[in-house]
């Protein structure tokens, strides 16, 4: 795994995710990317708030990227709030009104429409915070000590 502070190495959706992560950090939330809440689903950005709030943000770099996503409604049951993150040129009229909207670039982002809240049951929230912690710590160790997961000394 390589460091990704060189933004030329990032795909368009990852650039949006970087800006989203920066903005959510400024709001006091922490984020991870590519968490798998359940088999067959992988969220672009999962955010955790100070009181255990769970947000999911799906990053769409183009109309085509959005139109081919058949899975997004599956994310709703894994978060309190669901957002799309798109760039300033995206045709936002395409997006369902019942979802949140974030306009982002690689450097920052802004919440344009707050997502409605549909609170997770307590038991599922507990599972998601545990998954978030595990995912973040594994990725952190993989960056700090790459050999730890390669079976090398």
Binding string, residues 41-80; x marks residues near a second copy by CB under 8 A: -------x-x-x----------------------------
Segment contacting a second copy by CB under 8 A, of 17-25, 63-71, 80-88, 89-97: 17-25
CA quadruple 4, 147, 44, 120: dihedral positive or negative? negative
Q: Scanning the structure block, which residue is given the tokens 């915070």?
A: 129
The single residue among 15, 16, 20, 32 that binds a second copy, judged by CB under 8 A, is 32
Residue 105 is encoded by which pair of tokens? 């670039």
Residue 61 neighbours by CB distance under 10 Å: 17
The single residue among 25, 27, 36, 94 that binds a second copy, judged by CB under 8 A, is 25
Distance CA 112, CA 104 (A): 10
Segment contacting a second copy by CB under 8 A, of 1-9, 62-70, 92-100, 111-119: 1-9
Distance CA 97, CA 36 (A): 25
Q: Scanning the structure block, which residue is given the tokens 């009104």?
A: 97
Enumerate the H helices of the chain as residue ranges: 12-26, 63-67, 122-144
Binding string, residues 106-145; x marks residues near a second copy by CB under 8 A: -x------------------x--xx-xxx-xxxxxx-xxx
Segment contacting a second copy by CB under 8 A, of 15-23, 36-44, 78-86, 96-104: 15-23
Is residue 45 within 8 Å of residue 56, measured between CB atoms?
A: yes
User: Which residues would be at the binding site for a second copy (CB under 8 A)?
Assistant: 3-5, 18, 21-22, 25, 30-32, 48, 50, 52, 107, 126, 129-130, 132-134, 136-141, 143-149, 153
């Amino acid at each position: 795994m390589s460091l990704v502070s060189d933004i030329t190495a990032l795909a368009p959706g990852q650039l949006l995710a970087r800006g989203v992560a920066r903005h959510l950090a400024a709001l006091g939330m922490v984020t991870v990317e590519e968490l798998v809440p359940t088999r067959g689903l992988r969220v672009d950005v999962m955010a955790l708030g100070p009181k255990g709030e769970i947000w999911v943000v799906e990053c769409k770099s183009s109309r085509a990227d959005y139109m081919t996503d058949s899975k997004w409604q599956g994310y709703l049951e894994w978060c309190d709030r669901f957002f799309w993150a798109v760039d300033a040129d995206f045709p936002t009229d395409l997006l369902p009104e019942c979802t949140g909207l974030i306009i982002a670039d690689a450097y920052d982002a802004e919440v344009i429409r707050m997502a409605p809240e549909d609170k997770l049951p307590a038991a599922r929230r507990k599972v998601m915070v545990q998954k978030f912690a595990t995912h973040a710590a594994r990725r952190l160790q993989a960056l700090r000590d790459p050999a730890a997961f390669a079976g090398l000394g």
